[in-house]
């Protein structure tokens, strides 16, 4: 089976379609990588496991979520994300996308 291409990239600001929170993508998995127990308990809408899933820092919060691609849209507001870990991942917000200029070893 062919892997789905991720719709979002690291640094893009997204909005959750169901819960309406904003966040920034910090990592992406080509398919669901969590446990079956987590999926049963947390993924109420039962999104497909064989499509991309994203690690997202949630705006105005101090936690990260794990979200199926089908539950996300791009956020076009251009507003920054207020999260304590943003500076750990990114250097700047440029035209609505977070960027990292540092080299990570």
Q: What is the 3-state secondary structure (H, E, C) of 67-98?
A: EEHHHEEECCCCCCCCCCCHHHHCCEEECCEE
Two tokens, residue 48: 């497909």
Residue bearing the bigger pLDDT, 40 or 33: 33
Give, in words, the CATH class of 13-99: mainly beta
pLDDT in tens, 65-75: 999 999 999 99
pLDDT of residue 38: 85
Q: How many CB atoms lie within 10 A of CB 95?
A: 6
Average pLDDT rounded to a whole number, residues 15-21: 95
3: its two tokens:
């892997």
Residue 77 has pLDDT above 60, yes or no: yes
Interatomic CA distance for residues 68 and 53, integer angstroms: 4
Question: Is pLDDT at 94 greater than 90 in this prediction?
Answer: yes
CA of residue 67 relative to chain centroid, distance: 6
> By the 8 A CB rule, do 6 and 30 touch?
yes
> What average pLDDT does this structure show over 49-61?
96
The answer, yes or no, to whether residue 18 has pLDDT greater than 80, is yes
Residue 85's alpha-carbon distances to 45, 78, 82, 88, in angstroms, are: 28, 19, 9, 5
**The pLDDT of residue 105 is above 60:** no
Share of the chain above pLDDT 70, in %: 92
Q: Residue 46: its pLDDT value, please?
A: 86
């Amino acid at each position: 089976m062919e892997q789905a291409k991720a719709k979002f990239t690291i640094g893009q600001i997204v909005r959750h379609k169901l819960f309406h929170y904003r966040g920034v993508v910090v990592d992406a998995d080509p398919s669901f990588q969590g446990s079956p127990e987590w999926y049963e308990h947390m993924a109420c809408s039962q999104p497909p496991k064989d499509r991309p899933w994203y690690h997202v820092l949630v705006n105005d919060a101090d936690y990260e979520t794990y979200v199926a691609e089908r539950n996300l849209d791009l956020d076009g507001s251009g507003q920054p994300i207020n999260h304590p870990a943003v500076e750990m991942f990114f250097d700047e917000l440029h035209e609505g996308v977070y960027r990292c200029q540092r080299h990570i070893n």
